[in-house]
Chain A
Amino acid sequence: MAHQQPTLDLSPPIGDATHKTTCYMCACRCGIDVHLKGGRVAYIEGNRDHPVNKGVLCAKGSAGIMQVNAPSRLRAPLRRVGPRGSGQFEEISWDEALQTAVDWMAPLRATAPEKLAFFTGRDQSQSLTGWWAQMFGTPNYAAHGGFCSVNMAAAGIATMGGAFWEFGQPDWERARLLLLFGVAEDHDSNPIKIGIGQLKDRGARIIGINPIRTGYNAVADDWIGITPGTDGLLILSLVHCLLQAGKVDLDYLARWTNAPLLVNEDPKSPDRGLFLRDAAGKPLVLDRRTGLPVAFDAPGVKPGLAHGYRRAGITHRPVFQILADRYLSPDYAPETVADRCGVPAPRIRALAAELAHVAFDQAIEIAEPWTDFRGERHETVTGRPVAMHAMRGISAHSNGFQTARALHLLQILLGTVETPGGFRFKPPCPKPMEAQPRPNARATPGQPLKGPHLGFPLGPEDLAVDAAGRPLRIDKAFSWENPLSAHGLMHMVIANAHAGDPYRIDTLFLYMANMAWNSSMGTERVTRMLTDIDPDTGEYVIPRIIYSDAYSSEMVAYADLILPDTTYLERHDCISLLDRPISEADAAGDAIRWPVVEPDRDVRGFQSVLIDLGARLGLPGFVTDDGRPAYADYADYIQRHERRPGIGPLMGFRGDGTDTGRGAPNGDQIARYIDNGGVFTHHIPTGARFMKPWNAAYQDWAIALGLQDRRQPYLFNLWLEPLRRFQRAAEGQGDHQPPDHLRARLVAAMDPLPHWSEPLEQAAIDQSDYPLHALTQRPMAMYHSWGSQNAWLRQIHGENPLYLPTAVWEAQGFAEGDWARVTSPHGEIVVPVAHMAALNPHTVWTWNAIGKRKGAWALDPRAPEATRGFLLNHLIHELLPPRGDGHRWANSDPVTGQAAWFDLRVRVEKAPAPQESQPAFPPLASPVGQGPATLAWKIGP
């Protein structure tokens, strides 16, 4: 047949409208163009003008169309009719649902506000949800950070006034070397991928430090397959090598960090470990010009690092000398740490040498004059182009806070923070720990809390404990057990409420957190706690559970009242500077979501529902003086709410539409955002872009924008004095004293200089019984439990074998298709296995949250996610194994309370293949039925 070709329509219409909004297929908040045909979603792609993703979009984002049509979407408010955990519900009206919630909550507010515990999951509206809880008056509020990455967040803010991801980023444009520690494939998704592409284009080097070589680590030029939980030790060994060679930025350390501050070293002094201060309380440094102590911020001062100072018979030494003493010790020599880290000593030295070479021999100078807080003008900014990024891999260990501190110490010693080519803050950061709020936790019936729940205690007096030292919060956040729990401890709420420790609650109110499945440690145990009956009352031990979710998750089945949320394309949201915005190193940024399609079900955006509940409960701020609802809905709140005069959720188009940051509310603001592509950016001027914590021009820009009300220059905390204050208390100093059983642990954990300690669980067990580390990673194409309801994404990741390293695979003669019994100190599972060579030899792992409960997510109960998929959660406990000291210790970081997911130790044995993964659970009744048998989803003709 001769060549012939038909005539094609090469210009079909893309849609009849394009609406620009913000993605929510994961937490990264990329901009999307939603193309509609006849009011229905026809295609989703990245928004080229958006600062986060610049047009690109990941697999999850592109699959959004299959989320908006997902059969798992809840359809109407539900009231439980079967026993908890059965999944049996009846549909009720919104009026009935809201009245039920009010009937449960109003008496609690009047008598004991702490009996309501309100915890939100991957919530992007914490400035609203937190404020609501504050106005309700319960101390029991937090979002999911405690089981996610609070160690990164808290260590970053405490050490340098900002953390990775939302509040800081590698300088992708200028870095010549990138170190990635424990970054799977998330946080943040597209920006890291874009950045890796940029580095590769320029020929910059990437080194991946991760037990597992997937994803970003697969494309890294070099891979260090470190043993889990030892990153801190590796980092401090790098510090050892760099100090030994003098490859640290002394000028940077002397000017911008607390390296020159003078620490009281007198063992007999009550103030040992605290800084020498002047009468006004300002820390002192020794001025190199005069040798005399002066305030650290005195004009023209040249802080010294080399000499100590004696005053009133008390010896003081600069922080730098104390840290040099510590890290020059042979304890941190590469040869000492190599075996433990699983990294040969020459490799550690080579990495240190490469850091030194890039930082000091490839320095960049940018001619951008600026003036520092001491009044000194600088003609250039010096960059040391070593960038680093880290996330849950180092964070989700019980030594994660100090490990993250060690990482920041390394960055700072090299002079790479807020300098070109290194790590750069994103507004509203930098914001030091001192400028963050203190926690508020004292409940008064009928009254709001005095201030926000979450913050940073600077010493024992700021803890959320009563006069006897007992925790005020249900999750024991900000207690002596974990003083710096800046994001709360959501993973402890159900266990503590069930145990009545520190007290019982009445109503548990949760938003988009799958606590009856993949977000809890010991899933089976937690579901039993949710269904346990109190024999004295005949009621559930946790009497009432209200849950809001958009989808038929496992948690839905364990609640009594369901408030169905919309999908992300059917709602208003704001990605706010008051919360977790989308700023870049060179610009502040915020954004909105808006309903690009209308819901086809009887569902309401949770934030609008919360505002409605606030009005019905008469909460201050949610009602007008005459008792009417203050806001019609969330959109109205976004436009009209003022947190401080002139400062609202969105910075753009304020006042008459021309004000930015500060300005009166504007009823046209959301419309203006929509016209602007759903996003607003405000650039930092040249001369203010670098050295932000100390740069007068940046500080003034931030004040004008409303990010802060005054200049707040500060020094980076190499020595973290607030930790020392807790240590002092544990040593018996001061009025606020910890319980005796916590003293030794506090002294060890609250070390003011970064240290490495063995993860708590492995220190508590016989490691020969559990020789392997077990980890999870999030795949790039799935977000937690959300992906499995998505017809396209579940075809990519429908199963999650446990990957075994070669040594384990060969030693036990595993073959393809085999199963294994995996045993931890807390339980066992039987699961499918697969071989992987690009893996630390002492580590097994699987993809996170692929396993599903039968009947959830509108999947067929025979779905592979429910029959072959599994969770490692069954092997993990929120408490450590008993030690025989009468106490059960939390499986959390002792500084922040971060859930130590990755401390898990297991043994693996070949097992006969069961019918399905073990443990197997009975099916839940699906409140939404099941999905269709086929899909051919074309909207247009």
Chain B
Amino acid sequence: MTCLPARTDRKLGLVIDLDTCVGCQACVVACKGWNTENYGAPLSDQDPYGPDPSGTFLNRVHTYEITPENAPAQIVHFPKSCLHCDDAPCVTVCPTGASYKRAEDGIVLVNESDCIGCGLCAWACPYGAREMDATARVMKKCTLCVDRIYNENLAEEDREPACVRTCPTGARHFGDLADPDSAVSRLVADRAGLDLMPDLGTKPVNKYLPPRPRDRWEDASVLAPFLEPVADSPQGFLGWLDRALERL
């Protein structure tokens, strides 16, 4: 079994805005591209052109339909990757120490050279955020692009996870959630950001901003003054037109 660090100096993570996510899958593929080429073994694909294609992805977007009582049904897109939990059960369950949480920034990683591919961590993770790579036989998970966020070969502005950099709607935010003054912490405070399944006690670092209320049409009586008719006959309309033009 593997110990978590006593404390982490920072808690780097993602804040994902479910009000804005259109489900375009840009984050999914940017992640796949970066992490296939970088950290550890490539994210492999099995039967990529065949009848049952599958592959390793560190981030997937799920889609849910919700049907409220008295309003039209809604669709919510829900991107999901490792939440870099404070109390990460995937770390403590690891028999070799391969799964670990970084003391300096809280990122949960797998040291692939120590990973025996036993899969206990994926079993322990309540979020289904880890995937065993079928070719490399090591456990893969979101690295929060640890090889981007400090990377001196990248311009300062590019030192953020690939999924955040690519998100076209700006629905993904990256920062230090231990710092109450960080932009991400302020977003969480302003928009009532949520933990995913908080009752499990995993203390996820990543937060989700809930969708804003939808389909709340103003009562017609509130809006009626904006449509007050100017006349009740064609002649009346012409009269209004004449008067209105005079005022121009």
Contact = CB atoms under 8 A, between A and B. Distances in A.
A, B in one complex: yes
Contacts of A60: 29
A59 B25 contact: yes
B227 A356 contact: yes
Contact of B244 (A190, A250, A791, A932): A250
A767 B79 CA distance: 41
Interface in B60-112: 65, 67, 72-77, 97, 100-103, 109, 111
Interface residues of A, number: 114
Contacts of A290: none
A221 B21 CA distance: 13
Contacts of A306: 238, 241-242, 245
Residue among B6, B103, B147, B166 with the highest chain A CB neighbour number at 10 A: B166
Contacts, number: 311
B29 A62 contact: yes
A11 B22 contact: no
A194 B215 contact: no
B153 A14 contact: yes
Interface in A271-293: 288
Contact of B49 (A353, A780, A838, A858): A858
Given A58-B26, A218-B76, A304-B245, A353 B50 contact: no
Contacts of A361: 226
Nearest to B170: A197
Contact of A347 (B54, B157, B217): B217
B237 A324 contact: yes
A201 B36 CA distance: 33
B45 A934 contact: yes
Nearest to A329: B234
Given A5-B100, A244-B230, A356-B226, A215 B22 contact: yes
B19 interface: yes
Contacts of A62: 26, 29-30, 32-33, 166
A526 interface: no
B152 interface: yes
A350 B227 CA distance: 9
Given A223-B215, A859-B49, A346 B220 contact: yes
Contacts of B189: none
B218 interface: yes
Given A10-B147, A14-B151, A938-B42, A197 B20 contact: yes
Contact of B72 (A14, A795, A838): A838
Interface in A228-250: 241-247, 250
B53 A794 contact: yes
B42 to A, nearest CB: 4
A917 to B, nearest CB: 14
A208 to B, nearest CB: 10
Given A62-B33, A938-B37, A11 B152 contact: yes
B227 A860 contact: no
A643 interface: no
- Among A6, A930, A939: residue with most chain B CB under 10 A: A6
A24 B97 CA distance: 44
Nearest to A858: B49
B47 to A, nearest CB: 6
A170 to B, nearest CB: 15
Interface in A562-619: none
A216 B167 CA distance: 14
Given A218-B74, A223-B214, A13 B153 contact: yes
Interface string A639-676: 00000000000000000000000000000000000000
Interface string B138-159: 0000000011001111100110
A535 B122 CA distance: 66
B225 to A, nearest CB: 8
A889 B163 CA distance: 50
B162 interface: yes
Interface residues of B, number: 99
Contacts of B227: 241-242, 244-245, 247, 349, 352-353, 356
A941 to B, nearest CB: 11
A356 B229 CA distance: 12
Contacts of A354: 218, 223, 226
Chain B's interface: helix, strand, loop or mixed, by majority?
A: loop
B192 to A, nearest CB: 16
Interface string B156-190: 01100010011111110000000000000000000
A554 B153 CA distance: 44
Interface string B226-248: 11111000100110111011001
Contacts of B53: 791, 794-795, 798
Contacts of B72: 213, 223, 225, 838
Given A357-B226, A863-B49, A937 B26 contact: no
Given A10-B151, A59-B25, A254-B248, A328 B230 contact: no
B128 interface: no
Contact of B75 (A185, A213, A242, A940): A213
Which of B17, B19, B57, B169 has the largest count of A CB atoms less than 10 A from its CB? Answer: B169
Given A838-B65, A937-B36, 20 more contacts: A3-B103, A11-B153, A12-B147, A43-B34, A56-B26, A58-B168, A62-B166, A193-B168, A221-B215, A223-B74, A223-B214, A245-B230, A246-B240, A250-B248, A321-B238, A350-B217, A357-B226, A931-B48, A934-B45, A938-B41
19 contacts: A12-B153, A45-B30, A45-B33, A58-B24, A62-B32, A63-B32, A63-B33, A225-B72, A243-B237, A246-B230, A250-B244, A328-B237, A357-B226, A792-B55, A796-B29, A863-B51, A864-B52, A935-B45, A938-B42
Interface of B: 1-6, 17, 19-26, 28-30, 32-34, 36-38, 41-55, 57, 65, 67, 72-77, 97, 100-103, 109, 111, 113, 135-136, 146-147, 150-154, 157-158, 162, 165-171, 211-212, 214-218, 220, 223-224, 226-230, 234, 237-238, 240-242, 244-245, 248
Interface of A: 1-6, 8-14, 42-46, 48, 53, 55-63, 65, 71, 185, 189-190, 193-194, 196-198, 200-201, 213-216, 218-223, 225, 241-247, 250-251, 254, 288, 302, 304-306, 320-321, 324-325, 328, 346-347, 349-350, 352-354, 356-357, 361, 780-781, 789, 791-796, 798, 836-839, 858-860, 862-864, 867, 930-940
